[in-house]
Structure formats: C-alpha cells, structure tokens
Amino acid sequence: MFLLNKMEHALVTVFGDSPEQVIAKLITLYIPDKELKILTPYTPQNLEQAAQNSVLVFIGVENAQDPNLQVARMLKENRLISCDVIAYCLGDFETESVGILAKGFDLCVTSREANIPDFKKFLYQKIIIGGRRLSGLIMEEEYHRVCDALSAAPASMIIFDVDKRAVFISDHYFRAYPRIAPRLVRGLSVYDAFDMMAKEEGIGPEDPLYESLQRFWYNLNDSIEFQLKSGVSYRLKAVQLPGRRGVVLMGQNVSGYVDKHASLEDQAMRLREELEKISGEIKASAA
C-alpha cells in the first residue's frame, strides 16, 4: 500500500476537465488521501506554473481538434516540469493514441481504461514516481542556486570530499584558468588540481614557492599567503567541514591589503626617521 501522506509533494494538476469534473472526481475516488491536492488552473500560463510543483498532470481533450492537444509540448519545453503529462480522452477519438503521444504527451488514457481496477495502482505509481522526480529537481535547483551564490562571492572556493576529490569548484577558477577549465570538474583530485594550477602560474619545483604551496594543497590545513610572479598576492585558507565531510578551500586576492600594509609600513618608517631627526636636533640644541 502506497502512503502518499509521507510525500513532501503531492499536487496533481487537472486542466481542461469537463463541466462535471470527471477527471478530478475520478482521482479523488481512487485517492481520498487528505495530503493529495488537486490544482485546476484555467489558463495555459497558470497551468505551466501549477505543473512546476505537481507530481502528475492530466489534460482533458474532447476530440482530435481540441486545442488542449497543443499544451503538452509547451509543458515539455519547461525544464522545471518533471512530472508526466497525461492526456485524458473525454470524448470519442478518431486519432490513434500514438498520434496523441506524438504531440508531447507521456500517455493517453480513455474513460474506459480509467474505470478498470488496475487504474488505481497505475495512478499511485505515477504519483509516487512524479514525487521522486520533483524532489530530485528541487534538490538540483537548490544546488545550482548555492553554486551561483558561491561563484558570486569575492572569495574563490573548492569543496573537497574526505578523499580529497572536488565536489564543487566555483566559477572563479574557470575565469582565472580558461585553458584548463574543461579539466576542472567534479572528481578532480587535489593533487591534480595543484599540478595543473601550478603549471598555469609557471610555478615549478625550482621555484621557492613550490614546496610550501604543494605542502598546503596536499595537506589542506591552515592557511598560506603568497605572491605570484605577476605581483598579485593571494591568501588560501582550508576549513574542515563538520562531521569529517571534507574541506573547503577558499582563496582571495589580497593584493590591495598587502599594498596598503606596505604603504603603512613605509609611512611608519618615514615617521620614525622624522622623529629621530627631530629628536637629534632637540638634543643638539640642548647641548
């Protein structure tokens, strides 16, 4: 027995139903579960919005010339709609079911087929599968939103799993290293990532920076600050995720801070020299 009340999403959309609400009444007859809600939009625009949150969509069609037959293709073009779109034949059709499927529907159901006992099992199965698809789509969209947000942040970011393989690489690295961007993918080991980026920056084993950078990347611990041959200064910091789930490697261009710090040190040095000069003049005049 399927338990729909355990599902996070149990919305079924019905569009183009008969005045007697044949389709909606049939669904509620088979599935009286209080967690199941039927949406009945009246315009194609509202249908598309409702379908994005639904686990199953029924489109009522009266005949082979019914304009509702054109709706399925519109829904299929929307990547945010993951559920099956089923044509429910309210009248007699001269068109074969394959002709209806060719218009973008996943299935065609007649009134006779909907009244056999197995239709209840079929309905449950479609709703359960649609719920899984929708949950997967929601998780995928949330993942993309998080990726976009992290890629828009000032600091670059790579997330490594416990095996030190990348599970996320922010767009900063694709912009910084367009030549090797196709190789910066999920599953990339931290060792390969270091080798590729070191080569792109012209940092070889003979470079004084190489050993300290290699040690940092291989261990993914603490932080390191360094300056590239281009004069750009970077700070890398590795943060362990809770529960031993991996490491977040954050990188940031700190050239502005370094330059400002150097400028302040120069000013402080000049000030000390000026004070020493004044102090010497005071001592000389006192003598």
What integer is the mean pLDDT of 132-145? Answer: 85
Q: Which two tokens stand for residue 124?
A: 């449950």
Q: Is the pLDDT confidence value at 286 over 80? A: no
Q: Which two tokens stand for residue 37?
A: 């809600």
Query: Residue type at 120?
Result: K
What is the band of 100 on the pLDDT scale with cuts at 50, 70, 90?
confident
What integer is the mean pLDDT of 238-242? Answer: 91
Domains and CATH numbers, the chain: 4-145 (3.40.50.2300), 153-253 (3.30.450.20)
Q: Is the pLDDT confidence value at 270 over 90? A: no
- Summarised one tens digit per residue, pLDDT across range 78-94 is 999 999 999 999 876 66
Q: Which two tokens stand for residue 226?
A: 């360094």
Check residue 258 and give its pLDDT: 47
Residue 34 phi, psi dihedral angles, 5° rounding:
-70, -20
More confident residue, 222 or 152: 222
Residue 214 phi, psi dihedral angles, 5° rounding:
-60, -40
- Summarised one tens digit per residue, pLDDT across range 200-229 is 989 999 998 999 999 999 999 999 988 888
Check residue 54 and give its pLDDT: 93
What integer is the mean pLDDT of 167-186? Answer: 89
Closest CA to 191 of 152, 229, 165: 165
The answer to whether the beta carbons of residues 256 and 231 sit under 8 Å apart is no
Q: Which two tokens stand for residue 151?
A: 């890629």
Distance between first and last Cα of the chain = 105
Tracing tokens 């959309």 back to the chain, one arrives at 13
This prediction's pTM: 0.61
Check residue 260 and give its pLDDT: 52
